[in-house]
Amino acid sequence: MNNQMLRYPIKLEQGKVCLSFSFGNDYVRKYTWDTKRHCNAEYELHVILKGATTVDVEDQRYELIEKQAILIAPGIYHEPKVNKKDFERISLGFTVSDGILSEALEKKVQQCLCYYPSEEFLQYCNLFIQENIYYHPSKELALKALASLLTISMLRNLGLLKNNKADNKLLNEKERTAVIDNFFECNFAQKNGCAGLAEQLH
């Protein structure tokens, strides 16, 4: 499994996500982040597990500390700068198929986004690392399940997976009529009226 790209396609209601890990068994990069200025064709997520670093993204510098993450959009040039013995990170790439999820992600991350992932996400990262250290008969199944959990947790952290119970409110006929009337009063000139109205009516 060394020196190969592992890909995990995950289908969600909002779209398809393909999570990828490179470097075979070497998912955790220790001590240095020695990469020249570059850009990739997919989203890059780097999670700092230990230590601190700086990353130059286009013409902006970002300081990252332990338990913080940086998500870099496709086609955006960046360069990390770190050389400390107490440094560790895990990196993953992913693509999103065209659709609602892809559009929401593009709006959320135009160049890059620095944030603190949830403890749940960090736990899945550590579990993924642990599962990958040794071979066991159910290893591939475990890694695939953890890749799905990582994807869902990541998208939740970014606010891209909506809570159906909160969002899918059932409106009675009177409420629906009021929403429709109000929408067209405020948005009569808009070209995307149908999409906006559908969103308000859930």
Strands 60-65 and 83-96: unpaired
pLDDT of res. 167: 42
**Where do the H-state alpha helices sit in the chain?**
100-108, 119-133, 139-157, 164-167, 173-187, 193-200
pLDDT of res. 77: 96
Q: What is the mean pLDDT of each run of 10 residues along the chain (202 residues)?
A: 72 90 57 80 93 92 94 95 77 90 93 96 90 85 93 94 53 65 60 60 62
Distances (CA, A) of 167 to 104, 200, 202: 16, 9, 7
pLDDT of res. 86: 80
Task: Give, in degrees to the nearest 5, the angle at Cα 94 between 89 and 97.
Answer: 165
pLDDT of res. 2: 43
Beta bridge partner(s), residue 96:
17
pLDDT of res. 166: 43
Beta bridge partner(s), residue 38:
78
pLDDT of res. 25: 44
Task: Give, in degrees to the nearest 5, the angle at Cα 77 between 75 and 83.
Answer: 140
